[in-house]
């Protein structure tokens, strides 16, 4: 089975067109997005704090980690074109995730209490846009939106 899976990944071009496929995606921010973030006050403050104790490479990695933790994600075992909704409410807080398939994209929303993450993944080129909203803030304002690229880390076809 593993040999067949590897063969499918190497030989056949990936397409969301066929239902009956299960995929796993690893979604990471682009270098450009990270470079733009490095101009922000949040990054500069974190970097300044870490550079006092660490070398430049480690300080940079630690200063980028809040961005990466919030906006990089992995989706495992998603059935193509099958919408999923695992959301539930507990004491007024939302928990769970949902996948909504559309002709040109996949909408992925994740809810952890008051922290809501919304991502849209393009079905053709696997680029994505992601934003996160902390509903616990008194003034939500306009949330930041970041872009990245997903790659297929697993693809299975039902025979």
The rounded distance, in Å, linking the Cα atoms of 154 and 159 is 16
The alpha-helical segments, DSSP class H, found in the chain are 2-11, 31-37, 41-51, 56-71
Strand ranges (DSSP E) for the chain? 21-29, 73-79, 84-85, 88-90, 93-101, 105-113, 115-122, 127-134, 145-157
Q: What is the pLDDT of residue 92?
A: 85
Q: What's the predicted TM-score (pTM) here?
A: 0.80
Q: pLDDT by residue (tens digit) across 17-34?
A: 555 689 999 999 999 999
Domain-by-domain residue ranges, the chain?
A: 21-157
By C-alpha distance, which of 105, 121, 117, 125 is closest to 143?
117
The rounded distance, in Å, linking the Cα atoms of 37 and 73 is 18
- Ranking 10-14, 66-70, 75-79 by mean pLDDT, the lowest is 10-14
Q: pLDDT by residue (tens digit) across 119-139?
A: 999 999 999 999 998 887 766
121 with 71: CB under 8 angstroms? Answer: no
């Amino acid at each position: 089975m593993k040999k067949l899976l590897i063969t499918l990944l190497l030989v056949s071009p990936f397409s969301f067109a066929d239902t009956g496929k299960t995929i796993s995606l690893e979604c990471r921010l682009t270098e450009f997005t990270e470079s733009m973030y490095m101009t922000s006050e949040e990054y500069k403050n974190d970097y300044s704090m870490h550079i006092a104790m660490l070398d430049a490479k480690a300080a940079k990695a630690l200063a980028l980690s809040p961005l990466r933790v919030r906006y990089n994600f992995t989706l495992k075992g998603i059935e193509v074109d099958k919408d999923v909704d695992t959301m539930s409410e507990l004491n007024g807080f939302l928990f769970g995730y949902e996948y909504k398939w559309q002709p040109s994209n996949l909408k992925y929303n994740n809810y952890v209490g008051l922290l809501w993450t919304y991502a849209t993944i393009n079905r053709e080129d696997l680029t994505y846009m992601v934003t996160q909203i902390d509903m616990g803030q008194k003034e939500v304002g306009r949330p930041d939106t970041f872009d990245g690229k997903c790659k297929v880390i697993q693809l299975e076809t039902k025979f």
